[in-house]
Amino acid sequence: MQLTFIDFFVIALYFLINLSIGLILRKKATANVSEFFVSGGKATWWLAGTSMVATTFAADTPLVVSGLIVLPY
């Protein structure tokens, strides 16, 4: 499968949108530590919960849990 110009365009557009969002929100997130981690206490319960659940699906978490289970035996 070969990528065409439109494929590269969509990929570049995706990265530019993500970079733009990051740069726009960077100023607000660097105001203080509380703002960075918990949105200054303004995050709703379901957003904070979803973030915590998503963290458990990271690539390293299953490896660590497997290692903790296997190592004692």
Angle at 43 between CA 24 and CA 18, to 5 degrees: 30
pLDDT in tens, 17-71: 999 999 988 877 777 777 667 777 788 889 888 888 887 777 777 788 888 888 6
Which carries the bigger pLDDT value, residue 29 or residue 5? 5
- Catalogue the E-assigned strands of 1-73: none
Q: What is the pTM of this model?
A: 0.48
Contact of 30 with 36, CB cutoff 8 Å: yes
